[in-house]
A and B are shown apart, each in its own frame.
Chain A
Amino acid sequence: MSQVGFGEITREGLWTNNVVFAQLLALCPLLAVTGTATNGLGMGLASTAVLITSGLVVSLLRGAIATDVRIPAFILIIATLVTLVDMAMNAWLHELYKVLGLFIPLIVTNCAILGRAEAFASRHDPLRSAYDGLMMGVGFTLVLVLLGAVREIIGAGTLFADAALLLGPGMAFLETVLIPDYKGFLLFVLPPGAFIVLGFLMAGKRLIDFRIERRAEARRAAAADAMEV
């Protein structure tokens, strides 16, 4: 098997094969916790930690796991790692854990993680698998933060509320009130708002892809014309 380049992995994770925008996976935590940008960031970082470590462990054990039982084995590995993240968050980020706590165990059922274990980590070396986990996780986190930010701004008029809980008191300057005296737009705090915003963000991504495609076509056409002359 030819080795995938790190640039390719980066591009795939962040844009072309983005967990949410392209694979449409991990929608459950996405819709549940993106009420604020901070919650999205916390969920994204927790998922990224699991993605990196599960990629690494699955890749290391890929020779030892029989193909027939690989899915239960992957789930077991992921569940163990999620439990570790869960306990770590409870110990060191307790305030945030109280907000996100319910959804952390659900990372186990996050299809994106099993999907990467099956599609990537079980076929590539540990370094590339861990890097793929990192890039997929960063791509996922970016979407979570973006979605959380849009919902938070429209829904409550703030940005990164309670960031100090996640990042420590030093990052309290991130907490901004964009619209003072804003009474709130409750729909966007509720799950339907997540569906609506996600739909618009995906339409935006497709629009950008479409523009890039058209520009590339124009360039090819220009190059072909130049050849003929």
Chain B
Amino acid sequence: MSGLTPLVPAPFAHQGGGVTRLMVLVMVALTPATGYGLYLFGWPAIFLFLVTVLSAVVFEALSLVVGGRRVGPFLGDGSAVLTGWILALTLPPWAPWWIGVVGAFIAVVIGKQVFGGLGQNLFNPAMVARVALLISFPLEMTRWMQPLPIGTPGAPGILDGLAITFGGGSGIDLDALSGASALGHVKTELDRGLALPDILPSVASWEALGLGQVPGSLGETSAALLLIGGLFLLATRVIRWQIPVAMLGSLALAATLTHLIDPARYPDAVFHLLGGSAMLGAFFIATDYVTSPVTARGQLIFGAGCGVLVFVIRTWAGYPEGVAFAVLLMNAMVPLIDRWVRPRVFGRTATGKPLSYPSSKEPSDG
């Protein structure tokens, strides 16, 4: 969405498409990372993904019926599917089905529809749901699984997958297959007083972090595939570069500075960029049109704020990952940012005074 609409006179040409086109493009961009995540974490992840997306659509339809709005056009814009999709990507892949249903309810009904539907909400719906779930169900929301790609020995089949997602994992020892996420592991070990050089060898290699072959949320682990999706969004001009660049840049900058000061306590920028959901957050979550500033400068401030907050929360707060909290906190700042960096009004200076034209001399003869 272009914040600084060029001031040109009519006629205007319509670009075609609309909300549906944008949503479909975002889904296309998410497909590689999602597909890989579903492959890595197997059938339970596939069931959880389907349950979350489906319940998001059902809750959207119910809200529209209750609100007396037309169901067809609003449901057809794809925003509910995308909200459910992004929420599913941030969930632990083997979470039980009700996590997806409750999350979809919080995202669609409390996060979006009570504000008046698409375009009216203050906070990113998927992140509202993610944070509400994390605070309410800490156990289920932090059970990360070792990747067990479909077909490998020990990976759950369809029936086992059904049992894990819908049956509470009865008969399957989930804890034996779980592992700490990279961020969580480093945080725990640092809290135990170990120094980083002693911890990092036990964390997955950079290649594994970049490709996503590590315990983590369903679709956040593969930084490389998310980056490809993000670049696709930039190339198709669905998003602009300001938010992702500012967010990843400020996160990397803060990490690098602290790493230089004390390499034994602060992981470097690569770890921060690849280790958690920074890529997913920067390209797909913080860039939500509804909950980010409209001007380019505002988006730079917003993105930088997100990046710094992610670093602060990861480093000094109680939770190992902070993307959801950071995005929500900056969402709350968006109205202020938009007031602060208002674009220049046509015919006025940046401070709001009328532009001074050269004093209108008498037109010369001719």
Query: Do A187 and B132 touch across chains, with their CB atoms under 8 A apart?
Result: yes
- Max chain B CB contacts within 10 Å: which of A186, A187, A192, A196? A187
Q: Can you list, as one digit per residue, whether each of A170-213 has a CB less than 8 Å from chain B (1) or not (0)?
A: 00000000000001111110101000100100010000000000
A190 surroundings in chain B (CB, below 8 A)? 135
Q: Can you list, as one digit per residue, whether each of B108-126 has a CB less than 8 Å from chain A (1) or not (0)?
A: 0010001000000000000
Looking at the assembled complex, report how far the CB atom of B63 sits from the nearest CB atom of chain A, in whole angstroms. 12
Checking A184, A185, A196 against B110 with a beta-carbon cut-off of 8 angstroms, the contacting residue is A196
A205 to B164, CA, bound (A): 41
The number of chain A residues with a CB under 8 A from chain B is 11
- Considering only residues 115-144 of chain A, those with a C-beta below 8 Å from chain B are none
Query: Do A185 and B136 touch across chains, with their CB atoms under 8 A apart?
Result: yes
Measured CB to CB, the nearest residue on chain A to B138 is: A186
A192 to B136, CA, bound (A): 11
Query: Do B135 and A183 touch across chains, with their CB atoms under 8 A apart?
Result: no
Looking at the assembled complex, report how far the CB atom of B130 sits from the nearest CB atom of chain A, in whole angstroms. 12
**Does B137 sit at the interface, judged by CB under 8 A?**
yes
- Considering only residues 233-264 of chain B, those with a C-beta below 8 Å from chain A are none
A39 to B68, CA, bound (A): 37
B102 surroundings in chain A (CB, below 8 A)? 185
Measured CB to CB, the nearest residue on chain B to A192 is: B132
A103 to B201, CA, bound (A): 52
Query: Do A187 and B136 touch across chains, with their CB atoms under 8 A apart?
Result: yes
A187 to B137, CA, bound (A): 9
B138 surroundings in chain A (CB, below 8 A)? 186
Looking at the assembled complex, report how far the CB atom of A154 sits from the nearest CB atom of chain B, in whole angstroms. 10
- Considering only residues 134-151 of chain B, those with a C-beta below 8 Å from chain A are 135-139
- Considering only residues 77-124 of chain B, those with a C-beta below 8 Å from chain A are 102, 110, 114
B114 surroundings in chain A (CB, below 8 A)? 199, 203
Query: Do A183 and B137 touch across chains, with their CB atoms under 8 A apart?
Result: yes
A13 to B222, CA, bound (A): 58
Query: Do B136 and A186 touch across chains, with their CB atoms under 8 A apart?
Result: yes
A187-B135, A188-B136, A203-B114 given; 7 more Cβ-contact pairs under 8 Å: A183-B137, A183-B139, A185-B136, A185-B137, A186-B138, A187-B132, A187-B136
> A interface vs B, CB < 8 Å?
183-188, 190, 192, 196, 199, 203
Interface pairs (13), CB distance under 8 Å: A183-B137, A184-B136, A185-B136, A185-B137, A186-B135, A186-B138, A187-B132, A187-B135, A188-B136, A190-B135, A192-B132, A196-B110, A203-B114
Ranked nearest first, the 9 interchain pairs of A and B with the lowest CB-CB distance are A187-B136, A186-B136, A185-B136, A187-B132, A187-B135, A186-B135, A196-B110, A199-B114, A190-B135
